[in-house]
Amino acid sequence: MLRRARCWVCGAVFEAERGSLPRGARFACARCAEDDLGAPGVDRAHLSRALTERYEVPFADVREAEVDVDVLRLLAEDFSRLHALLPLLREESRTKIGPETLLVAIADPGNVFALEHVRRQTGLRVRTCVAPWAELMEAIDELYLPLALAEDAPEGE
């Protein structure tokens, strides 16, 4: 017996064997669930493109981003890694009346809980862009390392 389901990545409706899809769980259609090697998983590039279209947010190439150290200090590395997000840019308010804006690259722009936490922690408005999970993890490793080394260095050296 077949059951209809909706892919959380691209929104396509597909049919699957009843019992193979647990109720309330997120699941992807066959196109979204196959990675480049043909093994079960998610093709990150396809996922990012689909999320960009679904949430109407731009795509970010975090490998090319130049991130200021002060912007990185706004969010802890553990939090960034847990939610696959990276603060990229702090923008001044155009009207000088409203709060400044923080541009955040995130793997899942539907993660409203993480984005709300960022807004509350920083006191800034949050604007999002989508980036692949693997690229975000590489960028977090690379960008937060100098901060960690600077904090671990003894005083006076």
DSSP string, 60-95: --TTS----HHHHTTS-HHHHHHHTEEEEEEE--SS
- What structural domains and CATH numbers belong to the chain? 2-42 (no CATH), 69-152 (3.30.300.160)
- Which residue in this structure is represented by tokens 């939610």? 83
Q: pTM (2 decimals)?
A: 0.69
Q: What does the alpha-carbon distance between residue 34 and residue 10 come to, in Å, rounded to a whole number?
A: 13
Distance CA 118, CA 31 (A): 32
pLDDT of residue 90: 92
Q: Which pair of tokens denotes residue 58?
A: 């731009």
Over the stretch 36-54, which tens digit does the pLDDT of each residue have? 333 345 566 667 777 788 8
pLDDT tens digits, 112-144? 999 999 999 999 999 999 988 888 989 999 999
Q: If we measure between CA atoms, which residue out of 56, 26, 51, 46 comes closest to residue 108?
A: 51
